[in-house]
Amino acid sequence: MSVLIRLLAALGTAVLTGLIILAIRHGDFSAAGEWLTSRPWGVVTLFDLYFGFLIGAVLIAAVERDWRKSLFWILPVFVLGNVWTGVWLCVRARRIAQLSTLLAAANPDPAANRAPLV
């Protein structure tokens, strides 16, 4: 499982990094930002992006054992974006897979703990 997590994170991070480099070389960041913030769906997209950063930061804080390491990984997320989160995911893939296994073992039948819907 950790190999798959690491592989997908590395692939996504590499593709995102390539797209960023391409955009830097051929795009106008100021004009694109102005266009994005002047459109309702652009504002929604930016909110979605930063909300995703926040979710990633919460996940990092939950997985990291030391608050200094948490800060090391969380603070750059809001500047470097999901490239940084992807790097963190590659580095912590084994720990995340172990936590997933531990959580599954602690609750072998999740359906038994659910309240009825009606």
Q: 12-31, pLDDT tens digit by residue? A: 999 999 999 999 999 998 99
**Contact assessment for residue 71 and residue 78, using Cβ atoms and an 8 Å cutoff:** no
Number of domains composing the chain: 1
Q: Is residue 115 part of a domain?
A: no
pLDDT for position 101 = 79
Q: What is the mean pLDDT of the chain?
A: 90
Q: Report the C-alpha gap between 36 and 95 in whole angstroms.
A: 37
Q: Is the pLDDT of residue 118 over 60?
A: no
Phi/psi of residue 99, nearest 5 degrees: -65, -40
For residue 26, give its domain range.
Answer: 2-30+49-105
Q: Are 64 and 96 within 8 A, CB to CB? A: no
AA letter at 109: D
pLDDT more than 70, % of the chain: 91
Q: List Cβ neighbours of 78 (8 Å cut-off, separation of 6 or more).
A: 50, 53, 57
Q: Is 22 helix (H, G, I), strand (E, B) or coil?
A: helix
Q: Kindly state whether residue 75 falls inside one of the protein's structural domains.
A: yes
pTM score above 0.85: no
Q: Is residue 98 domain-resident?
A: yes
pLDDT bin (cut points 50, 70, 90) of residue 53 is very high
